[in-house]
Amino acid sequence: MIRTCIALIALLLASAAQAQTRMPSHCIAIADAAPGLSYLHNASFRDPLPDYTVRISYLAHASFLIQSPGGTGAVTDYTGFIGNVDYTPDAVTMNHAHDTHWTAAPDPAIAHVLRGWGAEHGKGIDHHLDLGDMVIRNVSTDIRSFGGIEPEGNSIFVFEVAGLCIGHLGHLHHEPDAAQYAALGRLDVVMAPVDGGMTLDLPTMLRVLQRLKSSVVIPMHWFGDGTLSAFLRGIGTDFAIEHVGDSALELSLRTLPREPTVVVLKPRYLR
């Protein structure tokens, strides 16, 4: 009993010490997504955002631009090109399963380049970047590599911004285990690779999305209408489906859909 009490005290002290250096995660602390009304509309990435609103622009393949109302911008699975525009994001994330998800030569003007695999392959990495009105953190997962497994070679990046918890699954190759699901916490919005083979097979991806119970699922990493349609047929019994007809949407906690919804965006580089 005494040993148990000592261990508990040590755990609480360690948690307190960590809390002094890290912003507490509301995405982990709160289990359920907030209900609301669906409010999706087209917008230029240069337009100002209302308070408590996030803009998500689908650029290409697995790359998205996530923008806060304060003007902070982050690009996922950055390959070095986001469009023929004069724009430098504050942070980029990368995964190295394939070179369509990273670049060896990121723009040196980018202040924060977050590699999802760490300095040594197989060692993983722990990111927790506080940009003021956006926190970016990651949960490591394994990838298939040269016929084997590379531990912690991929990262699921989570963007905490304007009260929303936005997850990008990266090049996910296996269903997260219990500890990884717990580390992710609540995801109001998730970008999910739906190719059905190069990442997760379709039945496993559907199981992951049913487990996450995100209010908004944005399909990515699809190769033509065939793979996208197969995913939509598979998930259509559990999720509503909305075709926005453009590359961007704006969301807030107050305007999340009342039921889990797949929102299909058309990829387009910034212009």
Mean pLDDT confidence for 161-168: 98
Would you state the structure tokens that stand for residue 53, as one six-digit string?
């609103």
The model's pTM: 0.86
Q: Is pLDDT of 271 > 50?
A: yes
pLDDT band at 32; cut points 50, 70, 90: very low
DSSP 8-class letter at 109: T
DSSP 8-class letter at 255: G
H-run or E-run covering 93: strand 91-94
**CA-derived radius of gyration, the chain:** 18
Highest mean pLDDT among 30-39, 57-66, 138-147: 57-66
Would you state the structure tokens that stand for residue 99, as one six-digit string?
């070179």
Go through 71-106 and write b for each residue having 16 or more CB atoms within 10 A of its CB, e for each that does not.
ebbbbbbbbeebeeeeeebbbbbbbbbeeebbbeeb
Q: Is pLDDT of 34 > 70?
A: no
Q: CA 3 to CA 235: how far, in whole Å?
A: 49
Q: In sequence order, what are the beta bridge partners of 112? A: 91
Q: In sequence order, what are the beta bridge partners of 168? A: 157, 191
Q: pLDDT digit string (tens) for 204-240?
A: 999 999 999 999 999 999 999 999 999 999 999 999 9
Amino acid of residue 112:
H
Q: Is pLDDT of 45 > 70?
A: yes
Q: CA 124 to CA 139: how far, in whole Å?
A: 9
Q: CA 26 to CA 160: how far, in whole Å?
A: 8
Please, which residues have CB within 8 angstroms of residue 36's CB and are 6 or more apart in sequence?
252, 253, 254, 255, 256, 257, 258
Q: pLDDT digit string (tens) for 89-126?
A: 999 999 987 888 999 999 999 999 999 998 887 789 99
Backbone angles phi, psi at 77, to 5 degrees: 40, 55
Q: Which position has the higher pLDDT, 142 or 19?
A: 142
Average pLDDT, the chain: 88
For residue 14, the model assigns a pLDDT of 46
Mean pLDDT confidence for 250-271: 96
Mean pLDDT confidence for 188-209: 96
Q: Which position has the higher pLDDT, 227 or 147?
A: 227
